[in-house]
Amino acid sequence: MREKELIVYRDFEDGQLLENMSYLMSHYNDPSESAENLRNLSFKCLHELVEQAGSYGFHGNLWHAYLTNLLVNNENSYSCGCEIKGEITGTINVAALHDIEIFREFFQFDFSPLMEQLGVPDMKLALDYEASTRESKVYNTRICGRICELAQQLGNADDAQRMKQILTKFYKDYGVGKFGLHKSFRVMHDESGVHIVPILNIAHVKLDDLVGYETPKRKLRNNTESFVMGLKANNCLLYGDAGTGKSSCIKAIANEYYERGLRVIEIYKHQFQDLNDVIAQIKKRNYKFIIYMDDLSFEDFEIEYKYLKAIIEGGLEKRPANVLIYATSNRRHLIKETSSDNEELRQDLHNVDTIQEKLSLAYRFGVTIYFGSPDKYQFEEIVKSLAARNGILLPEEDLLAEASKWELTHGGLSGRTATQFIDYLLGAHMST
């Protein structure tokens, strides 16, 4: 087998199994090799394929799923060039086709002689594997299904050229690597540097699922739509009362615009010093990235906001066109102001600079969207809509009476309180 002849697709993160399987395929009938060592190696490979099925949720032909996983995660000049944009031109296509021909040899390998020669009929377990229902540790069900479907398509392709076309279409539709397969991410920093790590499970909420707030949702959607289309768009601040759906709106746009190349990266204020590293990792990709900061606010003694100000606007390096900042906050001006600020301002006009310093961060968000607590009528409308959506059949009078009692002791009138009330009713119903 020719894995060492690969040109474009190299340096796989999970490539040791490929090397071991390649060695088995090339030497299983070599009389100079130890049959016992080869047999042990075959069981080691089988173990890794089955373990991978448990971790990734793969099913069917696990060998094909493994090969496909290598192809969809390998970020190289060809795959990154094709993500979102589709087929590219140039000599790189010749190199990519050369590699796909090698992968086709792996896909088409007949395991029957190997199993007979080494006495390992158990290898067939990996060629038609029925997955358990256990949740994948690496991929959600949607991603796992796409990879397994792609593996079947690649395995059935008539030739390497057709395999390349299928793989290129996958890159165009879903992208490559972690940014291609996942919607949202968080930032981690360890001794080796700054890492952007996928968030495996995100609530499947859509903007239309959020009851009310039509004007704020429209402003958010319009700005995001412009960004995804490559038009001018602004950094966006969602501010207002607690529990009014600001964070849910961010989750909703991550879901709604994923298919169009939008990705959301969540970062906390103690990580703002990592922002430059994060942007350096994403600025040359073909996706649109929203860097999301939830519940953003600063006490007057905190200085992390200075990092954010420089990133948003004011540093020497221009912010990449494929990056926007979206933040949610209960404060319009983000940085806490004290009564002493106003007293000092009356005493010394030069202290206006101090006030302006604190306000300047909020001013750098071109779009600000207010989310206010609902009044009694709006709260009841939210409760009725959520109850209908969840199949709760209480008479309306009883429903609203119970909701009124609930909100008095659970945080007041808000969408969050309404949701918690509906969850309570669902739980009480399930327990009876």
Could you tell me which of 294, 243, 237, 241 has the C-alpha nearest to residue 270? 294
In the chain, the number of structural domains is 3
Residue 422 domain boundaries: 376-431
The β-bridge relationship of strands 193-198 and 184-190 is: antiparallel
- The 184-190 sheet, strands edge to edge: 193-198, 184-190, 262-266, 288-293, 323-329, 236-240, 367-371
Question: Who's near 258: CB < 8 A, 6+ residues apart?
Answer: 183
Same domain, yes or no, for 29 and 110? yes
Question: Who's near 79: CB < 8 A, 6+ residues apart?
Answer: 71, 171, 176, 177
Same domain, yes or no, for 403 and 290? no
Whether 342 is covered by a domain: the verdict is yes
Q: What is the mean pLDDT of residues 37-46?
A: 94
pLDDT digits (tens, 9 = 90+) for 120-171: 999 999 999 987 766 567 787 788 888 999 999 999 999 999 999 999 999 9
Q: Is 304 exposed, middle or buried (0-12, 13-18, 19+ CB in 10 A)?
A: middle
Same domain, yes or no, for 69 and 205? no
Whether 259 is covered by a domain: the verdict is yes
Same domain, yes or no, for 410 and 285? no
Whether 95 is covered by a domain: the verdict is yes
Phi, psi of 43 (to 5 degrees): -70, -35
Phi, psi of 239 (to 5 degrees): -130, 160
Whether 360 is covered by a domain: the verdict is yes
Same domain, yes or no, for 258 and 133? no
Same domain, yes or no, for 99 and 167? yes
Same domain, yes or no, for 106 and 215? no
Same domain, yes or no, for 365 and 388? no
Strand, coil or helix: 43 = helix
Q: What is the mean pLDDT of residues 69-98?
A: 92
> Across the chain, what does the average pLDDT equal?
85
pLDDT digits (tens, 9 = 90+) for 256-303: 999 888 999 999 888 888 888 999 999 888 899 999 998 876 666 556
Same domain, yes or no, for 364 and 382? no
Domain endpoint, select from 348, 371, 394: 371
Same domain, yes or no, for 382 and 364? no
Domain endpoint, select from 181, 209, 228: 181
Q: What is the CATH number of the domain that holds 266?
A: 3.40.50.300
Same domain, yes or no, for 342 and 387? no
* Alpha-carbon distance values, 19 to 2, 15, 124 (Å): 10, 7, 20
Residues 280, 298: Cα–Cα separation, whole Å:
26
| 306 pLDDT above the threshold of 60 | yes
Whether 188 is covered by a domain: the verdict is no
Whether 329 is covered by a domain: the verdict is yes
pLDDT digits (tens, 9 = 90+) for 88-133: 999 999 999 999 999 999 999 999 999 999 999 999 999 999 877 6
Please give the model's pTM, rounded to 2 decimal places. Answer: 0.79
